Amino acid sequence: MNRSILTASAVLLLLWGCGTTNSLDDEQPNPPVDVTYEANIQPLMYNYCTTCHGGPVPSAGLRLTTYQEVRNIAEGGQLVQRVNDTTNPMPPSGLLSAQERELITQWVENGFPEN
């Protein structure tokens, strides 16, 4: 009987261990397959960028409130470069998560799909 309890405990521990995740996994890029401006990029712009890069006088003269405005800056490579810049991060509050930065990269690499 002790052996069966020991075996059952070992199986439960093994199953429990397979179900746990390492906190480092949270930082690994895992974007959806179809990244679009409407579903993925626009919310990021709204949450992190439009406070400064919106309104009547956007910071640095750069407005990021519409698809075309964001696409224009992304086409020149500046969007990906700025969100990955560790010395002068955008947003100024700190780098976006690895997943968020990967979404932007995938959107650019996939040709800027709108929706």
Is the residue at 68 inside a domain?
yes
Q: What percent of the chain has pLDDT over 70?
A: 71
- 29 pLDDT higher than 80: no
Is the residue at 15 inside a domain?
no
pLDDT value of position 89: 86
- 22 pLDDT higher than 70: no
Is the residue at 76 inside a domain?
yes
Number of domains, the chain = 1
pLDDT value of position 7: 44
pLDDT value of position 63: 96
Average pLDDT, the chain: 82
Is the residue at 23 inside a domain?
no
Range of the domain at 99: 30-109
Is the residue at 86 inside a domain?
yes
pTM for this model (two decimals):
0.70
| Opening angle at CA 97, ends 96 and 99, nearest 5 | 120
Is the residue at 20 inside a domain?
no
- 37 pLDDT higher than 60: yes
b/e map of 10-30 (b: 16 or more CB within 10 Å)? eeeeeeeeeeeeeeeeeeeee
pLDDT value of position 2: 52
Among 13-27, 53-67, 81-95, 100-114, the minimum mean pLDDT is found in: 13-27
Is the residue at 17 inside a domain?
no
Q: How far apart are CA 64 and CA 48, in angstroms?
A: 10
